[in-house]
Structure 1
Amino acid sequence: MVEIIGSKKMNSSPQQLRAVLIIFALALLLRYEFGLPESPPNPQKALLKILPIVVLIAVVQHNQRRTEYSVRLTAGLCFSAAGDLCQLYKQEEYLIFGVMCFGIAYCLYATAFGLRDDNFLLACLACGSALAVYHVGTPKLQKVSPLAAISYTLAALLMLWRAMAWWRASQNNRSSAALLGAATLVASNAVFSSHIFQFPVPHTDLVVSSSYYAGQLLLALSAL
C-alpha cells in the first residue's frame, strides 16, 4: 500500500485547504453561470463545463507531482472530464463512450488506492451488489447495453472496495477523503440510475451534479 500511495508525504494546512475550496467553488460558479450545455455544443461552454475537474487536476499535481498516486488520480480525473464532455452530445455513441470514460476513471481510482486481494468479504459484497443492480435494472435499460451497465457498475464498486480497504488499513485523513469521495460518486450514480431506469427522483440534476463534484473534490483532497 505504501508503494502505491507514493513516497512523498504532504501535510495540508487549513490555509491550503481553504484555498483549494475557494478556487474550486469559483470554478463551479463559472461552470454553472456560463458553462451550461447548448445544442449544438459550444466549445467555450464545453471547456467551462470541465473547469472544476481541471482545477482538481492542478491541485493533485501541485501536491503530489510525479508520484504513482498522483499519476493514477490525474488520469482518472482526465477520463472523468472526457465523460463530462460526452454528456454534451445526445447521440447514443457518445452516451456509450461517456459510460466507458467514467468506468475507466473508476478503475484508475481503484489502482491509485491499491489493487490487492485483501478484504475478500468486501469484494464479495461489491460483486453481490453489482449483480443485484444488474438484475433489477436490466429490464429497464434503454440506450445502454446490459454489458456496459454491468461493467460500469463493477468498476464503480471496485473503486469503492479498494477505497474501503485502504481506509481499513490506514484510517488517516487521506484514506478517509478517498473513501468518502468514492462513496459519494457511487451514491451519485445510484441516484442517476434510479431516476433514469426505475422511478423519478426530485431535483435529480441538483442532487447528481452536486454529489458528483463533491466526490471528485474529496478524491482530489486525498492527495493533500
Structure 2
Amino acid sequence: MDTSASLTSAPRPLRWLGALYALSALAAIAAASDWLPGAWFWVLKPLTTALLIAHLARHEGPDRALRRWVLTGLVFSLAGDTALLWREGFTVGLVCFLVAHLAYIVAFTRHVRLLARWEPFVFYGLVAAGVLTHLWAGVPGPLRVAVMAYVMCLVAMAAQAAVWAWVARPTPALRPAAWAAVGGALFVASDSLLAIDRFTHPLPWRDVWVLGTYWAAQWCIAKSALRHSMRQP
C-alpha cells in the first residue's frame, strides 16, 4: 500500500464535510431569518450539526478519548437542536445541552485537571452572575433552577477550556486548546444572546447572531479534537 498517497487523500472528504457544514449553517440562518423558506430550517438545523458529527467521526485523532467525548457532546447537541425546533421542547433541549457541556468538560480535562487554574473560573463566574442578574426577572419560576444549573454548567465548560489553553501556552498543545477556548467563549456568547432574546427583550438579527456564534462555537470545539489541530510543529 502507498501510505503517502493514502495520507494525502484522506483529508479530502473531511474538507468536503467541513464545507457542507458551513453551507448548511449559512442556509439554516437564512431560513431562520426568512431569507429562505422557513420550512427549510426544520431540516437544515439538525442537518448542520449532523454534518459536523460526520466530519469529526471520520477523523482519527491522536486522542481517541478526547474525540469520543467531543462527539458525545455533539450528539447531545443534535438532540437539543431537534428538541428546540418546538417551543414546547425548551426544557428537553436545555437538558440535552447541559449533558453536552458535561461531555465537553470531560473532554477538556483529558490534558489538564479540572480547576488547574482558578482565574478563568472566576472570570466566567462573574459573566454568569451578570447574565443571570439581567435575565432573572424574566425567567419563569418553574424554569429558574434549570436555567441556573445550565448557566453554571455552560460557564464551567468555557472556563475549563480556557484553563486548558492557559496551561498549554508553552507547548504545542496550545493549538487544540486555543480552539476549545474560543469555542467555549462563543458558546457563552450564543446562549447569552438567546437567553436575552427569550427572557428579556427581542434582539434585532437574533438568528444571525445566535446561530452564527453557536455553529462557530461547535466548529471550534470539534477542531480541538482533530488530528491536524494537534500536530507537532
> What TM-score comes out, normalization by structure 2 length?
0.76
Out of 102, 107, 116, the residue aligned to residue 102 of structure 2 is 107
Q: Give the CA deviation at 1:128.
A: 3.5
Q: Secondary structure at the match of 2:116?
A: coil
* Counterpart Cα distance in 2 of 1:180 and 1:125: 15
Q: Give the CA deviation at 1:135.
A: 3.1
* Counterpart Cα distance in 2 of 1:148 and 1:223: 29
Q: How many residue pairs end up in the alignment?
A: 206
Report the equivalent of 1:59: 55
Report the equivalent of 2:18: 21
| % identity of equivalent residues | 25
| Residue 49 (1) aligns with residue 45 (2) | yes
Per-residue CA deviations over 1:86-132 (Å, capped at 9, x if unaligned) read 112122xx211111111111121111011523112322333343233
Segments of 5+ residues of structure 1 without an aligned counterpart are 1-12, 39-43
Aligned pairs (5 A) from 1:106-145: 106-114=101-109, 115-142=113-140, 145=143
> What TM-score comes out, normalization by structure 1 length?
0.79
1:81/1:161 CA distance change after superposition, 3 Å: same
1:34/1:187 CA distance change after superposition, 3 Å: closer
* Counterpart Cα distance in 1 of 2:128 and 2:176: 26
Report the equivalent of 1:9: none
* Counterpart Cα distance in 1 of 2:179 and 2:22: 18
Q: Alpha carbon RMSD of aligned pairs, Å?
A: 2.9
Segments of 5+ residues of structure 2 without an aligned counterpart are 1-9, 227-233
